[in-house]
Structures are given as C-alpha cells and as structure tokens.
Structure 1
C-alpha cells in the first residue's frame, strides 16, 4: 500500500508540475488578479532583491504605486538607479527594456510611495552583511522581504566569492544570510500584522537530486581550478550539472520558506511563502546558449512560451498583500500559477531535511562571520 501511495503521489506531483508550470499553452491556467489590484500599502517598508529587472522590478513598481517605501537591493548600482528612474515614470519592463508608462489603477489613482537603492551582491556574503547593516541603520521595521533575485543554468565551474557554486550560493545561501540578519526586524512586527518573507522558487526544483540538496556538491573542492577572467569555466570535482544544480537551489528556497513557517509561522510571528512565478520573459535565461538566437531571430516565440514580468509577479505580490487572516493559511506553502497552493516535491514534506538545509546554511555563515 505504501509503494502504491508513493507512486500515486509522484504521478500527481508531475501532473500538477506540468499543468501549473506557467506555460501559456495551458490557456485555462491564467491570472484572474493583477498586481495593479494591490490595496493601499502606505506606511509599509518593502525590500526586493533583484528589484531592477524582471519580476523584481514589476513587484517594486506595484508597491511603489501603492504608496509603500521600496528598497531595490541590487548588485549593479547603475542599473538600479536606472530602474528607480523608470519606476518613478511608471515604466513597464520587458525583454527589450522599459516601455510606456503604466496606466492608472482601476479607481483612477496612482499613489506614489518612496523608492531607494541598497547595494547587495548575493554571491558575496560580505556584501550581504553590509546590505543588512545599511538597511538596519535606515529602518526600524520591515513588512515584506522578497527573496526574488537569482541565477539560472549558469555554467559549471563558477563560484561565489566564498567558494560555493554560483547558483546555490546566490539563490539559497545568500538569501538565507540576508533573511537571518534581518530576522529580528521581521519578528518585531506586531502579532496582529506579522511581516512576510516571499521566496522565489521554481518548478525546476523537481530536478534536484535525491534528498533535495547534495551539500558536498555546492562547495568548491580545493583541487578545482579557479576560473580567471576570459577563461572557460570547468565543472568542479563534486559539482552537479547546471540544471541539477539549479534544481537543488530552488528546492532549497522552498525549504527555507518551510523552515521559517515551522519555527515562526506556526507561532503566528511570521508568514513565509515560496512561489513559482511561471514561465516568464526575463533576463534569467541569459546563460542558456539558445537565448541570444531566439531573441534576435525569433522574438515572436517568447509570447508563445512565456508570460510578461507583470504576470510573473502575480504570485509573490498577491502573497505579500492579501489580508493577514488569509495569508496565514498559505504560510509555509508553495504557490504555483496562479494564486494556487501547489504540490511541492514529496521529499519537501520531510521536516528533518528542511531543518538540515537551514542548519547547514547557518554553519556556513559562521565560517565567514
């Protein structure tokens, strides 16, 4: 009976994974809510990692025009400043840059908030520390933290400054460090209005290795060559192939959300959610070899297989703005397109594995404190 139940669970997971992948071909799975529907966020303080492009930009734009104070936590200050200028103009972002101003909300209003830049390089734990310190000097509260930034399918052999594989080090370890450092601020919110942490994951978490994360594979072996500028990176001794590596980083993001819920969400002190944005037309696939050719010779293909950044931001913006009593029900869950509690890979029901990810990240953080 146990084997039959396991097989059924995996089949059901695979079906849900495909149907709620965000592919436009599944036309009946479409958003029935817009990020323009965000209620008034006046007085809210929001931090968005990777807020200068893609779903991060769309999220920041949405909160800015709802009256919130928004921080764009980005690696490249110039690009962040350009994004801030565009946000103030209401520019909509696409693959070819910023386009026309965003139309007024349905009620005819556009309530502007405040938008600021804070430097953050998630692939450098020292930069994460500095970002947290700067933010803590500026703010006494944090209502929503969007762990939105990330890298996908980067070549094997690329590592963070501290020697972790680029994808896991950026997507999981960097965000864990940031969340951990800002946790006291997040937990200082009143129990009636707990702060929220929204982590961007992916249906790609299905490609993670057995058990979710192979920790040995995400640390550079001393014998692995260090890639110099202009050199072709080589796969490390223990490193996984790029898509498996991406999968375990996204598995890790869901694990972080679940851990936060297990420890703080069940006490009503914090709301944490992992989201799959769907197939979105952003610069995330820039490491894929076919991307530049499709962009140049077949741009018509993008609307066929992807959605816009505004639509890609639906899940995370909705999870961050629905009333507290509703948000508590989705805390610790994995949302899929659109506004639906999805089915995460079955091994993400193992609280011991989830705790193992958080504790491992904690131990790595102590090495570089």
Structure 2
C-alpha cells in the first residue's frame, strides 16, 4: 500500500506540475487578481532582488504605484537607473521593451524607489548590500528573493566557486535573507514581515534527494573559464537543467525552513512561488530566444505570459491580509493564487534543514 501511495503521489504531482505550469495553452488557468489590485502600501519598505527586469520590475512597479518605498537590488547600476526612470513614468515591461499607458487610472500613489547594489553570485557583495540596507532602514516589510539564473552553460561559477545557478539562486539569497533576518523578525507580531522566494515548476527536475551538494562546488581540477573561452562542464557538475532544478528545489526548501523555524511561531511569513511561463530575459541562455525576439515576437504570447501576470503570485502573497497570509506560509504557490503540490521529497523536514545548514556552513567559510 505504501508503494502504491508513493506512485499515486508522484503521478498527481506530475499532473499538477503540468496543468499549473502557467503555460497559456491551459487557458482556464488564469489569474483572478491583477497586480494593479494591490492595496495601499504606504509606509511599507520592500526589497526586490532583480527588480530592474522581468517579474522583479513588475513587482517593484506595483509596490511603487501603491505608495511603498522600494529598493531595487541588482548588479548593474546603469540598468537599475533606467528601470527606476521607467517605474516613475509608469512603464510596463515586456520581452521587447516598454509601453507607457496614457491613462494611469488615478490609482498611482507614487512611492519612492532606490537602487542598492547586489551581485548574488558574490557573497562579499551580498554582505555589502545587507550592510548598506541596514544603515538605511530600520524595518523591512517584504523581501522578494526574485532574481535568478536559468539554464546557464555548464562550467560557470560564482566568485566563491559554486555553480552559477545554485550559487546565485540559493546560496546568495540564503545569505541575504540570513543577514536581514534580525530586521525581518523585528516587525510587530500582528504584522509579520514576509519573504517571498521565486521558485519554478522546474524544481521537479532536481536530482534524487533534492540537492547534490558535491555537484554545486567547483572541483579543484575544473578549469577557471576566462572571458571569451567556451565553458566546460565541471567534474561533478550536473547538466544545466538538472542544476536549475536543484536550485529551484533549494528555493522551496529555504521558504519551508523559514516557516518551520519562524512561521509556526507567527514571527515571519515565507512563501515560495512559481511565476509560470513568463516572457523575461531569464531565458536569455536558451538558443531560440534571440530568434523569437527578432523574427517571431508574435510567438511570445502564445507560449508565455507577460511579466505583470508572472508577478501575480508573489505580489498577491506579499499583500493579502495577515490572517490569510499565515495559511499560505511555508507553501509553494502555482499559477495562479493556488497552493500547489511541491515535489514529495520537499515534505522531508530533515532535507529542508540540511539545505539551510549547508548554506550556513558555506557562508562561514567566506565571512
């Protein structure tokens, strides 16, 4: 009976993963809520990693329009400043550029938006970002761990020698969350801060057990790729899509750990979200992306949703009333506004704790 139950659970997970992938062909799976429906966020302080593009930009724009103080955390100051100007002008982003609606609907409360430098692939940069933020603010209402890398070529590593995808998507975000945790936990009990981590249906492609920790550390025999050289897969490194899968599995694990440790006490709300199939520059490493943009832009809405729709889950999770938010803490949301089915091995609290503890150990090496 145990074996049959396991098989059934796995099949049900696969079906839910496909139907709630956010793929437009499942036309009946669509949001009943828009990021324009966000309630007043005046007085709120929000930090969005990767807030200069894609769903991060749409999220930052939504909170700015609702009156919040928004920090865009990213590597490139020039791109961040461009994004900030677009946000102030009400620009709506897409894969091919920005549009500026003439009618803003009278809903804009014009918050504030600032740039803060952050390179998630460099733990030193993460430390500096956290230190700068702590100097600027004495509270943090929402932290969006939104930035990420998808399907980057094998053989690329972070500054500290971790595979680029896992090092950026999981290790970098873990360190940022950990450094800002005292601030997050200082919120009044009636209004706990929220941490929203962007995951993916791709977490289903993680290796057995979720994360192969040996595979995410560059082996001493692996070559260091210099500019202009072709990346080569490391000795222990997983193929790019498996590596992506375990990084997204790790993001759900981080959300669950935060809930298990702090959410059950009512001190913090943490949620992992799958944004769906979204037209963003996250797909820049895919060989077909530049051809679609140049020769078949009409194909984008057939196979993907807009960044604004992709941001629905995370903005909704960050702004629903506290009572409702507590019910989704520790959960994995899928398109749209639905508690989804995470891979069955994410129910193992020991594996979840192992991910957090491993990240802690790595951070100590470079502190």
TM-score by length of 1: 0.99
Q: Does 1:287 align with 2:274?
A: no
Do 2:96 and 2:293's aligned partners in 1 also have CA atoms closer than 8 Å?
Answer: no
Residue-by-residue CA offset, 1:285-314 (whole Å, 9 max, x unaligned): 100111111222221111101000000000
In structure 1, what is the equivalent of residue 113 of structure 2?
115
Q: Distance in 2 between matches of 1:103 and 1:43?
A: 25
Deviations for 1:128-175, whole angstroms, at most 9, x for unmatched residues? 000000000000000000000000000000000000000000000000
Report what 1:143 is aligned to.
141
CA contact (8 A) 1:191 1:268 kept: yes
Listed as ranges, the matches of 1:114-133 within 5 Å are 114-133=112-131
Following the alignment from structure 1 to structure 2, what is the Cα–Cα distance between the partners of residues 291 and 68?
Answer: 34
Deviating above 3 A after TM superposition, structure 1's stretches of 4 or more consecutive aligned residues are none
Residue aligning to 1:347: 345
What does residue 220 of structure 1 align with? 218
Aligned equivalents of 1:343, 1:42: Cα separation in 2: 34
- Following superposition of structure 1 onto structure 2, how do residues 213-362 of structure 1 map, counting pairs within 5 Å? 213-362=211-360
Task: Give the corresponding residue for 2:26.
Answer: 26
**Post-superposition CA distance 1:95-152 (Å, at most 9, x none):** 11211137434xx331110100000000000000000000000000000000000000
1:40 paired residue number:
40
Structure 1 position 90 matched with structure 2 position 85: no
Instruction: Give the 3-state SS of the residue equivalent to 2:315 in structure 1.
Output: helix
TM-score, with length taken from structure 2: 0.99
The CA distance in 2 between the partners of 1:237 and 1:299, in whole Å, is 38
How many residue pairs end up in the alignment?
367
Assess if the C-alpha contact under 8 Å between 1:159 and 1:166 holds in 2: yes
Deviation at 1:362, TM superposition (A): 0.1
- Counterpart residue number, 1:211: 209
Coordinate RMSD, CA, aligned: 0.7
Report the CA distance shift for 1:220/1:103 in structure 2 as closer, same or farther (over 3 A): farther
Which stretches in structure 2 are left out of the alignment for 5+ residues? Answer: none
2:67 corresponds in structure 1 to 67
The 1-side partners of 2:102 and 2:290 are apart by 28
8 A contact 1:74–1:121 mirrored in 2: yes
1:54-91 CA-to-partner distances (Å, cap 9, x unmatched) read 00000000000100000000100000000000000000
SS at match of 2:100: strand
